Structure 1
């Protein structure tokens, strides 16, 4: 965003948000601190466009909920650790057939 130009020579992806923020500061700048407080939503939109922080947090929450839901369903007939250790060993063919289901 330093130059204001995007990768293909046009305006950057956040240029519209920057213009909105600048317009807010121009309109409300004479009011001092109270005027700048009116521009907080525009500033949040601009920083979200640049950094995607809210989007990342939302995605992480969805992933955590999915993992929690997935962990809640126990697999039926899940092989035990000792059965998996015996896979392919001589003399343990019965365990191998039991785990592989063949």
Structure 2
């Protein structure tokens, strides 16, 4: 949150990252020389990740794509036969339905 306070009144979840970034700036820069900012790039990256979760979202998206590809490959390797497809949802054909849908 912009106020610096979290949802429940304590410090926000990214406050420790902000403190690290600020301490890095204080140690590595002066009023007249900003060349030390480059040393704080890692702290800045951590703080932005805490705020926006872009890397985490990219990892989740990649994992979901890999899972979908694995499921599609599994279906291509072991496709259901025509009888199993015709029997989907019919009474006394629960075994065929489970085989096609992949549930146990």
- Tell me which residue corresponds to 1:41: 42
Relative distance call for 1:72 and 1:98 in structure 2 (3 A) is closer
Question: What value does the CA root-mean-square deviation take over the aligned residues?
Answer: 2.2
- Tell me which residue corresponds to 1:82: none
- Tell me which residue corresponds to 1:63: 64
- In structure 1, list runs of 5 or more residues that go unmatched: 80-94
For the pair shown, the structure with the greater C-alpha radius of gyration is 1
TM-score, structure 1 as length reference: 0.74
Relative distance call for 1:98 and 1:17 in structure 2 (3 A) is closer
How many residues end up aligned between the 2 structures?
86
- In structure 2, list runs of 5 or more residues that go unmatched: 94-104
Partners in 2 of 1:29 and 1:63 — Cα distance? 42
How far off is 1:77 after superposition?
A: 2.6
Relative distance call for 1:37 and 1:98 in structure 2 (3 A) is closer
TM-score, structure 2 as length reference: 0.72
